[in-house]
Amino acid sequence: MSKLIQRVIASVFIMGLLMYFLRIPVAFSLGFFKSTTAFDPWRVLGLSLIYSIIFFLWSVFYFTYNYFERYNKSLKLEATVKDIELNNLKAQLNPHFIFNAMNSIRALVDENPLKSKLAITQLSNILRNSLATGTKGLTKFEDELKIVKDYLSLESIRFEERLKIEYDKIIKTNCEQYTAAVMSVFNLMQFNGMFLTGTEICNIL
């Protein structure tokens, strides 16, 4: 920091000195040039210092203005990122799924309290992992698969026998070897992995 200040002071003094000598041709052309005073050391030093102070004040204003401009832009960028993260979270979780899951859990409270507790835990896992999207990039594939299983377990409460779940053997045996973007497998399954057959059985492949 001290070296930077020294460089700034040296730069503005040199600019002030240059400004003094650049004004000599202008003064000469306008008839104000006096050789007896133009090269007087004290006059050169005094006017150069005045010009240096002017350049220094202008530099302070310029850098301060640009600093706050960049700071405001960074705040706007941060706000934009937060909005994108929030919209991403909204896009990841279908609101209808949450409402349906809550209704299914409510129906289970009296019929099967233990199963309802498990369903609440599964729903909280999904919500927690959704909120973690903005804090980490990659996660274990087996963790992603667990989110999918929790989701399908909740959906099976609503669809009952109409929902048929199948997992590829390769996925089950080798999932610990891979990583994936947070909630990517969930989104892939939610929007592309489910389709209805003529028998009204929903297959998850």
HEC assignment per residue over the chain: CHHHHHHHHHHHHHHHHHHHHHHHHHHHHCCCCCHHHHCCHHHHHHHHHHHHHHHHHHHHHHHHHHHHHHHHHHHHHHHHHHHHHHHHHHHHCCHHHHHHHHHHHHHHHHHCHHHHHHHHHHHHHHHHHHHHHHCCCEEEHHHHHHHHHHHHHHHHHHHHHHEEECCCHHHHHHHHHCEEECCHHHHHHHHHCEEECCCCCEEEC
Tell me the two tokens of residue 151: 């989701």
Mark whether 200 and 99 lie in a shared domain: yes
**Whether residues 185 and 108 fall in one domain:** yes
Q: Indicate if 74 and 111 belong to the same structural domain.
A: no
For the chain, list residues with pLDDT below 50. Answer: 195-199, 205
Task: Please give the pLDDT value at position 170.
Answer: 53
How far apart CA 94 and CA 22 sit, in angstroms, is 70
Rounded to whole angstroms, how far apart are CA atoms 132 and 126? Answer: 10
- The verdict on 128 and 175 lying in the same domain is yes
pLDDT of residue 53: 82
Among residues 32, 58, 91, the one where a domain terminates is 91
Does residue 111 sit in the same domain as residue 200?
A: yes
pLDDT for 126? 79
User: What is the C-alpha to C-alpha distance for residues 78 and 75, in angstroms, rounded to an integer?
Assistant: 5
pTM over 0.75: no
Q: Are residues 13 and 105 both part of a single domain?
A: no
Q: Are 129 and 161 contained in the same domain?
A: yes
What's the CA gap between 102 and 116, in Å, rounded?
Answer: 10
Determine the straight-line distance between the first and last CA of the chain, rounded to whole angstroms.
Answer: 61
Same domain, yes or no: 102 and 195: yes
Same domain, 160 and 86: no
Residue where a domain stops, chosen among 58, 91, 124: 91
Q: Choose one of 57, 91, 125: the last residue of a domain.
A: 91
Strand order in the sheet with 194-196: 163-165, 202-204, 194-196
CA atoms within a 13 Å half-sphere pointing along the CA-CB vector of 189: 22
- Structure tokens that stand for 148 in this block: 């999918």
**How many Å apart are CA 20 and CA 198, to the nearest integer?**
90
Check whether residue 190 and residue 112 sit in a common domain. yes
For residue 43, give its domain range: 2-91
Region at 69 (left for phi over 0; alpha for psi -120 to 50; beta for the rest): alpha
Residues 115 and 44 grouped into a single domain: no
Asked if residue 79 and residue 172 are part of one domain, the reply reads: no
- Could you give the number of structural domains in the chain? 2
